[in-house]
Structures are given as structure tokens and as C-alpha cells.
């Protein structure tokens, strides 16, 4: 019988060997109302087309900031560190342009997309029958989408052992979710050695 301690030990062993990369972050923050037209005229490279979109788009350090007149700012970036540093630069620029807001608006991460390679092949056809809550159409896509219930995340699994994890708020949670998935795949006999 496998105890909780055994599962924890396996999780820690798997987690310590995983190399998980963050490749996309979706975050938001809120400041006071913003005069988008005035900012568009003052921020180089910004895009403001009110006839097609209600937002002002600003790019800083490979992050996209979608600013709304309500003060809501949506942020897309490659990783958490870049989103934080770019957000600091944007806030500094806004202050220099006379926009007033709280000393340090709270940055809220909604989703972190991560990827790792586990070094084993995943038997997708068999997984599509065994796992449940999967979408697999090999004629159209080379991956299987699996919605895990606990933790509540979505995975995209590729036959070469690449796993994309969506629906977590930080890298640590992604590592925990991927570890749980690997344990489940191993328990169900869905992994095999690479040729």
C-alpha cells in the first residue's frame, strides 16, 4: 500500500529533477483612471486606435501592456521576472508623465504557462482512453489535451515527452502539477523509454 509519505517522497524526487521553463505570463494591475489619448501622444511606440480597440498598447522589454481608461492594465510577458521589471518601468514612465496612483499598485498573476521535457515517450492513444477528460485528434494535432481535476490544471501532452502546463499562478505550482501528472502517467503505464 502506498502511503501519503511515499507519494510525497516520489513528488519531491520528480520535482527536483524537472527542468520547467516559463514561456508566458498573464497578469493584471489596476491604477486610477487614465487619459489614453494623452499617453498615446507621449509614449513612443504605443498603439492607440480607439475606433477598433478601447485600449492603449505599450511594449516594454518584450512585455505587452494593454491599458484601459478605467485604470485596468493587462500584461503579457515571457516570464515572471520580466513582467515585474517591465511593470516597474511602465509605472515609472507613467509617474514621469504625471499620472497619479498608489505608491505600488499590486501586480496579480492570473496564469503562468510552463513547459518541460520528461525524457520519456507518452503513449497518447492509450492515455486518451485511460485518463478521462481528454481531447485527442491525431489527424489534426500531435498533442493530447488533458484537464486534470486535482490540481485543477490543463496539460498539453506530446508523444516526445513534452508537457505544457496551463492554469497555474506560479512556477512552483506548475512543478507540483507536472509532478502529479508524471506520477499518474507512470502509475497507469503511459510512459515508455525513449528509443
For the cut 90, the answer to whether the pLDDT of residue 146 exceeds it is yes
Q: What is the pLDDT of residue 47?
A: 95
Task: Give the residue from 82, 110, 138 where a domain finishes.
Answer: 110
Q: What is the pLDDT of residue 194?
A: 82
Does one domain contain both 146 and 168?
yes
Residues 182-194: pLDDT tens digits? 999 999 999 999 8
Task: Give the residue from 78, 110, 142 where a domain finishes.
Answer: 110
For the cut 70, the answer to whether the pLDDT of residue 16 exceeds it is no
Could you list the residue range(s) of the whole structural domain that residue 129 is in?
4-18+118-193
Distance (Å, whole) CA 116 – CA 137: 22
The C-alpha angle 119, 187, 163, rounded to 5 degrees, equals 35
| CATH code of the domain containing 88 | 3.30.310.10
Residues 31-41: pLDDT tens digits? 989 999 999 99
Does one domain contain both 33 and 104?
yes
Nearest CA among 167, 4, 166, 155 for reference residue 185: 155
Residues 76-102: pLDDT tens digits? 999 999 999 999 999 999 999 999 887
Does one domain contain both 64 and 41?
yes
Distance (Å, whole) CA 114 – CA 89: 25
Task: Give the residue from 62, 92, 110 where a domain finishes.
Answer: 110
**β-pairing verdict for 47-48 and 191-193:** unpaired
What's this model's pTM, rounded to 2 decimal places? 0.79
The C-alpha angle 138, 139, 145, rounded to 5 degrees, equals 35
Amino acid at each position: 500500500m502506498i502511503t501519503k509519505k511515499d507519494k510525497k517522497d516520489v513528488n519531491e524526487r520528480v520535482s527536483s529533477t524537472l527542468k520547467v521553463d516559463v514561456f508566458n505570463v498573464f497578469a493584471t494591475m489596476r491604477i486610477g483612471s487614465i487619459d489614453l489619448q494623452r499617453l498615446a501622444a507621449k509614449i513612443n511606440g504605443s498603439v492607440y486606435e480607439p475606433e477598433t480597440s478601447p485600449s492603449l498598447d505599450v511594449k516594454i522589454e518584450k512585455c505587452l501592456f494593454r491599458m484601459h481608461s478605467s485604470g485596468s492594465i493587462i500584461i503579457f510577458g515571457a516570464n515572471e521576472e520580466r513582467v515585474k521589471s517591465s511593470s516597474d518601468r511602465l509605472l515609472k514612465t507613467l509617474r514621469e508623465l504625471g499620472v497619479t496612483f498608489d505608491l505600488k499598485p499590486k501586480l496579480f498573476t492570473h496564469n503562468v504557462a510552463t513547459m518541460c521535457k520528461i525524457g520519456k515517450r507518452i503513449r497518447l492513444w492509450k492515455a486518451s482512453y485511460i485518463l478521462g477528460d481528454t481531447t485527442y485528434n491525431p489527424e489534426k494535432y500531435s498533442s493530447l489535451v488533458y484537464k486534470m481535476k486535482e490540481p485543477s490544471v490543463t496539460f498539453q501532452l506530446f508523444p516526445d515527452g513534452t508537457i505544457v502546463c496551463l492554469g497555474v499562478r506560479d512556477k512552483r505550482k506548475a512543478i507540483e502539477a507536472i509532478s502529479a501528472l508524471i506520477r499518474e502517467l507512470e502509475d497507469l503505464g503511459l510512459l515508455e523509454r525513449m528509443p
